[in-house]
Amino acid sequence: MSRESRPVYVPGIPHRHRADEAAAEASASAVLRNRYGLHMRPAKQVVELANTFPCEISLLVDGRDADAKSILGVIGLAAECGEEVVVRARGDGADEAARRLADVLTNLPELHGEPEGTGCEEDEQDEGEDGRE
């Protein structure tokens, strides 16, 4: 195999082959409703699910993007409750990957037994209630 025909692999940069040029692409969006945002525990859920798909998957939040298969990348997005997360997938299984990750992001469970779906609004109301008169 000649040097020109071998793919070059660079850590941290996804590699592409000519056959990938026609690969399927899909995107889906989700609004985070978990009052604590995309912290370590839900980020782990997202990364574990993303790693079950063979396609490339990225998350975009307010102009920032990250590899959905990297825990540090996902946490680094610092996505908060109420923010829109766009899931972009490219390759085999892109449609299902984008759809399932968007569903998980929309329905992240709350922590410590709090009811699901409490949403961001309660946090905003709680900020003004400090018990002082």
The distance in angstroms from the start CA to the end CA of the chain is 78
Q: CB neighbours (10 Å) of residue 61?
A: 20
pLDDT at 75: 96
pLDDT at 123: 46
Active site (catalytic) residues: 39
pLDDT in tens, 44-95: 999 999 999 999 999 999 999 999 999 999 999 999 999 999 999 999 999 9
* The model's pTM: 0.70
> What domains can you pick out in the chain, each with its CATH number?
23-105 (3.30.1340.10)
pLDDT value at residue 36: 87
pLDDT of 15-52, one tens digit each? 454 444 456 899 999 999 988 889 899 999 999 999 99
Please return the burial class of 4, using the count of CB atoms within 10 Å of its CB with bins 0-12, 13-18 and 19+. exposed
